[in-house]
Structure 1
């Protein structure tokens, strides 16, 4: 059982950087960076956003594996169109931020309650992340988690589901917390960063959205049997980057990621104490 849990944990970690959806990770981080700045709430904002994205991601995978699998034949050919649409939306959001505007999403409203400031929007983003990733990451999820549930091992299946979610959330939380702390540190030290950081986030969002849309178009060309898609230079370069990220996550392993998360939380705690007036 321990080996199966470790396998599910690793599969969840690699699911965060799967070939179909890995470009959505920097897009997610860009949305986090572009959100309302609150130095005292950097840790809560990052972890809440990471939890929202993870929940949206694994719930879509769970629903697909348990309830929607019979519709897979109908749904799979239509997923690339959803990927293209998601990419276009991200490009538009990136252009909006580059123009110096704030994203008009209720989840990022400064007047929203603290716990909901990023949860709803990130849960929706996690669901979109999962839909874009189904083609590449659903097979390990089905093999590891759903097989146990369908075999009647409910307790083991739920434990594996939790391990998969923990692996996904661990990668996302470390990235989110690191980026949030860097962002708030820059804004606190450099007055110009308050206006510059959202525009840089818009640029990252623009590039990530452009790639996501291109990947969806690539999948549509593959489905149509077009041979030029097999030699797409954009996909080839991105595949090399994705493999490097996946290999790095696999080499690091869950223990190092947990240590990194604990270190970042300690840094945030020490920084918060240092900012307190004496």
Structure 2
């Protein structure tokens, strides 16, 4: 669960949640289904990177450690560029010729998988050590079954935090859209260019800070320390809530949406029956 809020990549979470907010105002059921689908794709991309890195790169992890901050730097620059692109009034779409030409890439399953990969690459420096110590060591010391179980729990913890936050945004989407519209057109609704810009700048800066520290620079930095205080607060809150709290929140959200949809379905059937009876 805490991997989703690691110091290196936690700033990417707001960027992901911003992508869930669209200006077409779908029903809550559709918004929740989309949030779950995007979370599953994003979590899969995140865990695939850790699986590949943990099982293939683990033997040389110590020597590769000094290169990991460059992933954060590159991911941050890419997200910063995407923010500039969206703020310029452009959209990010599939190239022509693909089956879903013109569909927003920021909300497709493939792009969410890629976002999860980017999230993992930006997080490697902070999270690969505990991952190797717990999961990969279980593969070596215990059994393949034990290691696989721990890996699935690692993925489930990541997905639980991200999925609960995504459901909260999906349920509050209409209120968020109304609030953004009150701010005027300075806040792009389709893409969250401002958020992507800020997130990309911070992630790139964090990567560059790590590179400088590895080269012998002093670790003190007011920007990093300020962000770390926010990250510590989020991580401590997440740890105190625990998997049980997040699980109940997710199940409760799904029950509320499912119950509301069922009630609307019954009411529509009742109205249709009443209209049919009047017609007779």
Q: TM-score range by the shorter chain?
A: 0.7 to 0.9
Q: Is the 8 A contact 1:105 1:121 kept in 2?
A: no
Tell me by how many angstroms 1:35 deviates. Answer: 8.4
1:254 aligns with 2:215: no
TM-score, reference length from structure 2:
0.82
Q: State whether structure 2 residue 90 is matched by structure 1 residue 101.
A: yes
Paired residue for 1:269?
258
Query: Are the counterparts in 2 of residues 80 and 216 from structure 1 also a CA contact under 8 Å?
Result: yes
Listed as ranges, the gaps of 5+ residues in structure 2 are: 272-280
Residue 136 of structure 1: how far off its partner (Å): 0.9
1:91 aligns with 2:80: yes
User: What do the CA deviations read for 1:158-203 (whole angstroms, capped 9, x no partner)?
Assistant: 111111111110000001111122124555x689479656268221
Residues 1:204 and 2:192 are matched in the alignment: no
Which SS does the other structure have where 1:198 is aligned?
coil
47, 51, 57: which one aligns with 1:68 = 57
For residues 36 and 16 of structure 1, do their structure 2 counterparts lie closer, same or farther at Cα, with a shift above 3 Å needed?
A: farther
Where 1:231 maps in the other structure, the secondary structure is coil
Is the 1:42–1:184 Cα contact (8 Å) retained in structure 2? no
Q: 1:239 to 1:38 in 2, by over 3 A?
A: same
- The CA deviation string for residues 231-263 of structure 1, in whole angstroms up to 9 with x for no partner, is 211001001011001000000000010011012
1:50 maps to which residue? 39
Say whether the 8 Å CA contact 1:17–1:246 is kept in structure 2: yes
Report the TM-score when normalising by structure 1: 0.83
SS of match in other structure, 1:235:
helix
Deviation at 1:98, TM superposition (A): 2.8
Could you say which residue in structure 1 is the equivalent of 2:168? Answer: 178
Match for 2:3 among 7, 15, 27? 15
Rg: which structure is higher?
Answer: 2
Q: CA deviation at 1:96?
A: 2.7
**Structure 1 43/70 Cα, relative in aligned 2: closer, same or farther at 3 Å?**
same
Structure 1 unmatched runs, 5+: 1-12
RMSD across aligned positions (CA): 2.9
How far off is 1:214 after superposition? 0.5
- Alignment-derived partner of residue 232 in structure 2: 243
